[in-house]
Amino acid sequence: MHKITVQYFDPADGDDFETAYRERHVPLVQAVPGLERFTISLPHADGAPYLVAELWFADGDALSTARTSAEMAAVSADSATYDVARRVIFAGSVEDV
């Protein structure tokens, strides 16, 4: 498995951010080719991100295909519109241990 993780920190307005994310962003992500699983979480801890999204793919090829797709371009463009203090995005392989 491979996944992309996106962490959103300190939105200017949490309620507006969550509403826009769920109503506008989630459908865009769900359209990404090769996406096998998509989860969001709202961590509760000092210094934690406000929202964490994880996009799961079967393998590196599926992740590479998704990253260069028009659908992912739409996801990235939408993500850049959110009024958050910062966004951290990273990808990698996942292994069960």
Written as six digits, the tokens of 89 are 């995005």
Q: Mark 38-71 as b/e (b = at least 16 C-beta within 10 Å).
A: eebeeeeeeeebbbbbebbbeeeebbeebbebeb
Q: What is the pTM of this model?
A: 0.93
Find how far residue 8's CA is from the centre of its chain: 9
Mean pLDDT of 32-45: 96
Find how far residue 15's CA is from the centre of its chain: 18
**Which residue ranges form the domains of the chain, and what is each CATH number?**
10-85 (3.30.70.100)
Model pLDDT for residues 54-95, shown as the tens digit of each residue: 999 999 999 999 999 999 999 999 999 999 999 999 999 999
